[in-house]
Structure 1
């Protein structure tokens, strides 16, 4: 009885073994997935991905300034791509194309009538699928954490930044899977690991050569011959800043874009030069610029100040009555033209303006005035006292601006702009130069505190340096025989050829060119005369579009020189070709592998 039972069981067991004539692709994926899920490191890496994504989302929500968000996020993508993603890809490739071969897992599957091609594609597909899921999860958790931290108030720039991050990592991981798979079949595991370690290192040093080049260029002086045959010398950095800012302004990639473009284009169109900025013709044109926005009073402003107590008078001015002595009391009258409207009048002007372009400019002007007033508090007039003089227009009619001694109407002195300057600087700065000074002129100085005039003058100073430089540079010839230009040109040419080989840097350039900067934070330092940081959002380890100065046939710098760079799509084409060859080599090597 026992023997017959054993005989009958054997065919039944054989029948329960599922034998496929053709194993479905889904079964292969499932089989490979189960094997991978046995690896503990796989769980650790996926957990780290989710945890770090949540942390960076919270950090981005905590940091409110867009420029700092860019800096933080760029460091995060370095860590995610070059560490987490790289290790995950390397681990999966080692598992599927090395460990499985050694423990004969692949052999068992292949003996079950599965073609090598199909099995390779299933593992290749699974690796890409896992990476895509990891990147998508990272994208979702970053945005979700940021949104929750900000009470679901979302910033479109964060979405743009994470979308670029998503697309970049999808492409980068695709490249890494193909390339490392090829290495795994061409070399031993140890050699592949060493090469991959070098690749990780390249992530952080790919941009170092260009950083060294730019550091050396800070000392370069470039000589120009102007159209008037004068020699002008510019720092190379100033040349680059001039053309970069010109592009930013014209493309609205700057804080207060409408106001910036309005002022900058007006200066360029009128060919203002910094050393001629304060001559009468240019002052009249500048007032006209502000008047076209409605910021200038049409009516004269009369300022009266009584009982001014004399401290000193000009010692070398024989027009001043000799009988005037210290502690005498005086009345002062000023009649001013072309004064600026008040902040309250600006608010009304904005409400009543129907032209959209003009309204946007005025809104920018108002917002900038708030920023400056918040920065200087109550010290704007003192800190920027010298900005008054260009726009101090005394009426030229007789007896419009005078000083008269109290109770002595026969002694009248016609005030000049110099007299007013002396009174003004003594009160604000305690200046001791020769001129009129009063003990109690503070109220008079307060009446001269036209807030929006100071705002306008600050803006003019911001832009005149760069617009003046652009006017000169765009019409002057580079003297190419000088040493610094020759060194610059030779070095940049070498770097251009090197960039074709430095594909890692090219891949980072693809990322940074699409991400860009947070342009709403690109602006001048408030306390400076004209200083702007155009590259403070750059990361030392990432590659960026670096244009070379392009000369026309007459040795004048091209106005389109900012477009003279290696296009990122060239790197993508080269990488796609390398990927195709890498995949093909890995595929053919797998088919010929002796299991």
Structure 2
């Protein structure tokens, strides 16, 4: 297009004829320049309308606001990029021959696709880096650099509600951070009590004891090294079992009632997130949740402490009573679900008993706890521990990142892409943990290999602890915008002056 207006018209004398009819060069250049921009604007606007219209039609006019935001940002980016290209290529047309201009433009297009490659290589190398930290207790902790970045990035996402189930995520994560839970101490009694308190504050814990009775259990085996088990008990004997449980979770039906009756908006949003997450997990696991996540029961299995609250009694022999422990129940549970052959009580027909222990929302809560404890624990350690800067991987990381920071000032293409992606953002409803994992989340899964994104460097405070605001330690995208606007102003001015002085 630029070639047509500023090159072809010169060659076929169209420009000469216009200028000889007493039209000033300045007015002619401005009109040509305005016409080129108008054509670009019309084409981009039509594309914007057609894309959104097509999306609406193919989705039965159910529109996602993120699609509108994405196309609107792309519209503005296209307008700005086209404006830059018109100015720059116009300057090249008046400074060089058509062939030279074509070669330069081809190189610019090539650079567009490789602008982010240097940072991609740097990040690929960083995957193998191990960073050493000295904790407050003078213990050495070693973290993968990727884990450090994931920890701080997820912390930012949660606190800014940029994650699926934002209200629930922030509630759990902040509670874990405030109570300084560490992963290796997560299951001690004090922390279990605090965790139950967290769910109880949402109204998810039963206040009443739950009594489970199961009759006619047919014995398969008994503990061989437990002297408290009557020696007369043998295989195929029939037993009655009674359990009294504390702090059980409410049912799904009770959750629906709780949501309806909750007036506090913040609490209601958390409960709605919890309900929606439970639907997602139950749809994913179908009927296998209890089997797939069987070990999540143990932290929240609270047997009543009163005597004769949890016992096994032989049928028709009330004198032979055995007080059940948590270990006994675990053996019965794992034998039915996993056919575990370890020493302990096992029954042929305990399936109904195991079904009664299937507190669905308890498993949902435990899955959520496992999702967040890894990252909250890491954040608690990292935000209070000192980086050992004299180790090789940190030195290499710091040196490389410093070089990339200076290189980024020259890599304007990548800067332009960064400005675009920083305003576009991500579809945060897709940022969530893999359902079957213990704690795995892909925070950069939506990134395009050929586009530039905001990349922050780890910022150390004076005591060599990573700053809590380290996610803001990046080159601001508006800097690239200012540089490009300055280049555009010079490009336009040079093209305008060369046109005025050109000999037709």
1:18-43 Cα shifts (integer Å, max 9, x gaps): xxxxxxxxxxxxxxxxxxxxxxxxxx
How many Å apart are 1:97 and its aligned residue? 1.2
Partner of 1:147: 56
Q: Does 1:371 align with 2:274?
A: no
| Deviation, structure 1 residue 130 | 0.4
**Partner Cα separation in structure 2 for residue 327 and residue 200 of structure 1:** 80
How big is the shift at 1:417?
0.2
State the distance in 2 between where 1:430 and 1:145 align: 55
Q: Output the aligned Cα RMSD.
A: 0.5
After superposition, what is the alpha-carbon deviation per residue over 1:280-311, rounded to whole angstroms, capped at 9, x for unaligned?
Answer: 00000000000000000000000000000000
Displacement, 1:152? 2.1
Q: CA deviation at 1:520?
A: 0.6
TM-superposition CA deviations, 1:501-533 (whole Å, max 9, x none): 000000001110011000011000000000000
Aligned residues: 504
CA-to-partner distance for each residue in 1:21-73, whole Å, 9 max, x for gaps? xxxxxxxxxxxxxxxxxxxxxxxxxxxxxxxxxxxxxxxxxxxxxxxxxxxxx
Higher relative contact order (CA 8 A, sep 6+): 2
Cα deviation, 1:203-255, whole Å, max 9, x if unaligned, reads: 11100000000000000000000000000000000000000000000000000
SS in 1 for 2:21: coil
The DSSP-based 3-state class of the residue aligned with 1:330 is: strand
Shift of 1:270: 0.1
| CA–CA separation in structure 2 for the residues paired with 1:501 and 1:137 | 34
CA distance in 1: counterparts of 2:60 and 2:439, whole angstroms: 38
* In structure 2, C-alpha distance between the alignment counterparts of 1:490 and 1:450, rounded to whole Å: 53
Deviation by residue 1:378-411 (Cα, 9 ceiling, x = unmatched): 0000000000000000000000000000000000
Deviation, 1:151, is: 2.3
Cα distance in 1 for residues equivalent to 2:189 and 2:437:
25
Could you say which structure has the larger radius of gyration? Answer: 1
C-alpha distance in 2 between matches for 1:145 and 1:264: 40
Report the 3-state secondary structure (helix = DSSP H, G, I; strand = E; otherwise coil) of the residue aligned with 1:303: strand
- Give the stretch that moved more between structures: 288-297 or 156-165: 156-165
Q: Distance in 2 between matches of 1:113 and 1:590?
A: 16
Q: Unpaired segments of 5 or more residues in structure 2?
A: none
d(CA) in 2 for partners of 1:301 and 1:540? 54
- State the alpha-carbon separation in 1 of the partners of residues 288 and 454 from structure 2: 41
Normalization by structure 2: what TM-score?
A: 1.00
Residues 144-164 of structure 1: CA deviation (Å, up to 9, x unaligned): 111122222222111111110
How far did residue 465 of structure 1 move? Answer: 0.1
> Which of 377, 385, 395 in structure 2 is aligned with 1:486?
395
Report the secondary structure of 2:308's partner residue: coil
Q: CA deviation at 1:102?
A: 1.2
1:151 and 1:363 map into 2 onto residues whose CA distance is 27
Measure, in 2, the Cα distance between the counterparts of 1:208 and 1:440: 61
Alignment of 1:517-556 (within 5 A): 517-556=426-465
1:68-108 alpha-carbon deviations (Å, 9 max, x no partner): xxxxxxxxxxxxxxxxxxxxxxxx11111111111111111
